[in-house]
Amino acid sequence: MLATEAEVKRLLDAGVHFGHRTDRWNPKMKEFIFGPRNGIYILDLSRTAEQVRKAADFLRDAVAKGGKILFVGTKKPAQEVVKELAERTHSHYVNGRWLGGTLTNLTTIRRSVGRLKSIEDKEKSGAMDLLPKKESATLRREKAKLARNLAGVLEMDKIPAVMVVVDLTREEIAVREARRLHIPVVALADTNADPDQADIAVPCNDDAIRSIRAVMEPMAQAIEEGRRHGATSEGSDKKEKKGKASKDKEAVLAA
């Protein structure tokens, strides 16, 4: 399905079409580029709109089947958008430093989460106040660091169904971990990126907040739709099972 005029205009208004300088590009992005202008590449927004829709459909389906999404965006323009959309859609997120092994060594990450919760429990119970001042200060610093790095993955006890990345080039370590575990990657990709590193690459200006938000908003809406559909399907399944169990019981009693 071709992109509509309204979709393209929405992306244009957000500055999604601005790529990098023409001397900083990856030839593999050629199919998504409209052409050069004033020393930078301009992206073909009709292709961007198509890829946004493709990504949204993929995410909707993954979530409807019970999958969880992990958003990753550690550079400044992406941090707030990633946190906001992840929390809104009940997804996981990393918007600070990517900790090596977040996916490939999940056991260690869960251990760190346990440590954070242990310190928080001490703080809530008042046990922290009974410690020597130096020791309690050290624990509070440790807590702040752990909270900063783990805030978005506190409930991630298994690998996500899909990883959504802002800036395919910058988040290469996270992408590498996802690919190693065969986790599908949806990525916002500027003109300097290698789209082959993502399952679905969405060509866009990944350096501006407005652009990032414009591209990710339809994805967030699709995740919300997927959650609603999944909840409805689950409710129907439970109702069907309950009805079957009731009929089976009646059959046994009648025998």
pLDDT one-digit tens code per residue, 180-229: 999 999 999 999 999 999 999 999 999 999 999 999 999 999 999 999 98
Average pLDDT over residues 131-157: 94
Superfamily, domain 5-100+160-243: Glucose-6-phosphate isomerase like protein; domain 1 (3.40.50.10490)
What is the pLDDT, as a whole number, of residue 175?
A: 98
pLDDT one-digit tens code per residue, 83-126: 999 999 999 999 999 999 999 999 999 999 999 999 999 999 99
Kindly list the domain boundaries of the chain, sorted by start residue: 5-100+160-243, 104-158
Q: Please choose, from the candidates 243, 238, 240, 205, the residue with its C-alpha nearest in 3D space to the C-alpha of residue 78.
A: 205
pLDDT one-digit tens code per residue, 71-84: 999 999 999 999 99
What is the pLDDT, as a whole number, of residue 2?
A: 78
Confidence of residue 1 (pLDDT cuts 50, 70, 90): low
- Look up tokens 């690998």; give the residue: 159
What is the pLDDT, as a whole number, of residue 230?
A: 82
Classify strands 162-166 and 33-37 as parallel, antiparallel or unpaired.
unpaired
Average pLDDT, the chain: 93
Domains 5-100+160-243 and 104-158 in one fold? no
Give the CA radius of gyration of the chain.
22
Q: What is the DSSP letter of 98?
A: P
Q: Residue 159: pLDDT above 90?
A: yes
Average pLDDT over residues 144-150: 93
Q: Residue 246: pLDDT above 90?
A: no
Confidence of residue 158 (pLDDT cuts 50, 70, 90): very high
Q: Are 188 and 213 in contact (CB under 8 A)?
A: no
Q: Residue 136: pLDDT above 90?
A: yes
Phi, psi at 203, each rounded to 5°: -65, 125
Top-level class of domain 104-158: mainly alpha
Q: Which residue has the higher pLDDT, 242 or 23?
A: 23
* CA pair distance 74, 93, nearest whole angstrom: 10
Average pLDDT over residues 162-178: 98
Q: Residue 166: pLDDT above 70?
A: yes
pLDDT one-digit tens code per residue, 32-88: 999 999 999 999 999 999 999 999 999 999 999 999 999 999 999 999 999 999 999
